[in-house]
Chains A and B, each alone.
Chain A
Amino acid sequence: MEVFLSSYGAAIVQMALAGVLALSLYLPLMAGQLSLASPGFYAVGGYTAALLSTTVFTGYANGSYPIPLIVVEMVIAGGVSALFALIIGIPSLRLRGIYLALATIAFIEILRVFALNQPWLGGAVGIYNIPQPFFSATRIEYLLLALPLLFGAMFFVARLERSRVGRAFIALREDELAASAMGVRPTYYKVLAFTLGAVLAGMAGALNAHILNTWNARQGTFDLSILILAYVLVGGSRTFLGPVIGGAFLVALPEIILREIAGAPGLNPVIATFLRDGRLILFGVLIAVSVFFFPYGLITPELFKRRRKKPEKVTVEAAKPTPNVRGGNL
């Protein structure tokens, strides 16, 4: 167990955070908006927590930083990210599809360069010695915070999908013009979906600042945009479970390749080297292949419905010789 945790403890925590980040991209996607801005809000959240814990909530020794303060930081980070999302969202959500994606990439690039050049954000070095609440080599204790965040985010999205606001999002995704003809305000709900996603990303960033112990301009860059997009595409973008499972899977996979397969005894050294150094290539191929074979992702809503509804449907159809008994002859 100890060996396992020392190899995988950090990865397991990152699997949970990947789920949260994937949901932060899934939310705007629910309203039909392809936004790659999540890493930007993740970076904003990380800097918020880093600044708060090193300049405001000081006086705690490393290893005994109070957990409630981290929760407070996460809430503040979510708020700051929401503010950023409103400022960016209102002008940029007039764009659609790939143009919105490009605008959001520009946003994370601007943030990166800004952070790199601001002394109060630590410049290129960033902010370090972010205090930790645990004395921990494996980081597994962070699941105490990461899992509630993940489950909270899952609960939030799952409930949202079945509510009035969630239906408005989905209507916009399905057909914006028809949705607006039914009284749904497109701009309002797009900005709302974008902002809710930003809050999740900001909270994940705040937590990860503590886990990583340091935060700098290399966190939350364009690479992460692509990774998060892969979580959602591979996992599936039509139910909230898709991004969560996609995120966990794609974080675990390179770790397993690195530690188990590439380290297996008796493996051809050339292959072992390739697996170790080229595992990102493998990872890319896997994403391409899975998009080809599972265009809607691994997890689709039909997966659940079919299993639950099939027997019922057969009996209904068999027992219904006369359709449209009342009011049906339009």
Chain B
Amino acid sequence: MSAEIMLEARNMTRRFGGLYAVDNVSFEVQRGEIFGLIGPNGAGKTTLFNLITGMTPPTHGELVYKGENITAKRPHEIAMRGIARTFQNIRLFGSLSALENVMIARHIHTKSGVIEGVLGLRPAPQEERATRQRALELLDLVGLADSAETKARNFAYGDQRRLEIARALSLEPELLLLDEPAAGMNQSEKSSLSEFIRRIREQFNLTIVLIEHYVPLVMGLCDRIAVLNFGQLIALGAPEKVQNDPAVIEAYLGD
């Protein structure tokens, strides 16, 4: 693994009242790796994603992305720097079609304003065509090209997860955060998910951080794994090492 650091969390802490949802967590994610984030329910995994994407400001700590401090940035500023995410509780634009959902995420790669858009002046028509084309390609990649005009809320749960991934990829991220991508998928979908995630990493040159409960997926897929429990980082390393870590076993099985 090359040593280029993509994302660095330094002493990230988020307190909700008296509860430390994320407590003094530090780690580095290297370019090109698939980094797993696991831990029991309520361990602070999703809060950590929200901290990285600017949706929840940290109580203290620093976030460095490609050498730049992004700690106090707003979500759209983080998106513009190339960090995309999916949501644990699926947040598609429900009443819009699959195609429109993916097209919206081309926002930062297009620039036509109100006048160009309304009057069809350059570069709006060209951008519109390219955006549509790109969105269709991404829908095809996740296997939803046939349902491009279907409203997002009418998809089955597993398909909604795929649509969210297509939408995130449409942003052309360098760092992709996947929040429980296998949740709601059936066994055969789960088993092909690993293959799919590896494929998009190659195809789009991605660095991927994923939260997942489904242990076989995480163990087989991730280069390194961080384990959170009660907001604290209790283990970090290669899957085999983490799997046999006494602290991890205790966190999952209790004493």
B45 to chain A, nearest CB (A): 17
User: Which chain B residue shows the least CB distance to A328?
Assistant: B143
Contact A182 B104 (CB under 8 A): yes
B67 within 8 A of A: no
Contact A183 B107 (CB under 8 A): yes
Contact A178 B143 (CB under 8 A): no
Q: How far is the CA of A163 from the CA of B107 in the complex (A)?
A: 11
Residues of chain B within 8 A of A323, CB atoms compared: 146
User: Which chain A residue shows the least CB distance to B165?
Assistant: A330
B96 within 8 A of A: yes
List residues of B (123-137) whose CB comes within 8 Å of A's CBs.
Answer: 124, 127-128, 131
Q: A164-B128, A167-B104, A171-B104 are contacts. A177–B117 as well, Cβ < 8 Å?
A: no
Q: Which of B53, B84, B93, B196 contacts A171 (CB 8 A)?
A: B93
Q: How far is the CA of A183 from the CA of B93 in the complex (A)?
A: 14
A25 to chain B, nearest CB (A): 18
Q: How far is the CA of A186 from the CA of B193 in the complex (A)?
A: 33
B88 within 8 A of A: no
Q: How far is the CA of A320 from the CA of B149 in the complex (A)?
A: 16
B59 within 8 A of A: no
Contact A183 B171 (CB under 8 A): yes
Residues of chain B within 8 A of A327, CB atoms compared: 140-143
Q: How many residues of B contact A (CB 8 A)?
A: 53
State the main secondary structure of chain B at its contact with A: helix
Q: A164-B117, A164-B124, A167-B103 are contacts. A182–B167 as well, Cβ < 8 Å?
A: yes
> Could you mark each residue 97-122 of chain B with 1 if its beta carbon is under 8 Å from any beta carbon of chain A, else 0?
00010011101101011101111100
Contact B162 A330 (CB under 8 A): yes
Contact A164 B87 (CB under 8 A): no
Q: How far is the CA of A324 from the CA of B196 in the complex (A)?
A: 14
> Could you mark each residue 161-198 of chain B with 1 if its beta carbon is under 8 Å from any beta carbon of chain A, else 0?
01001010011000000000000000011001100100
Closest 3 CB pairs of A and B: A328-B143, A163-B117, A174-B93
28 A/B residue pairs, CB under 8 Å, sorted by A: A164-B131, A165-B112, A165-B113, A165-B117, A167-B103, A167-B107, A168-B107, A171-B104, A174-B93, A175-B92, A175-B93, A177-B75, A180-B75, A181-B55, A181-B84, A181-B91, A183-B76, A183-B79, A183-B80, A183-B171, A184-B76, A324-B143, A326-B140, A328-B142, A328-B144, A329-B192, A330-B142, A330-B192
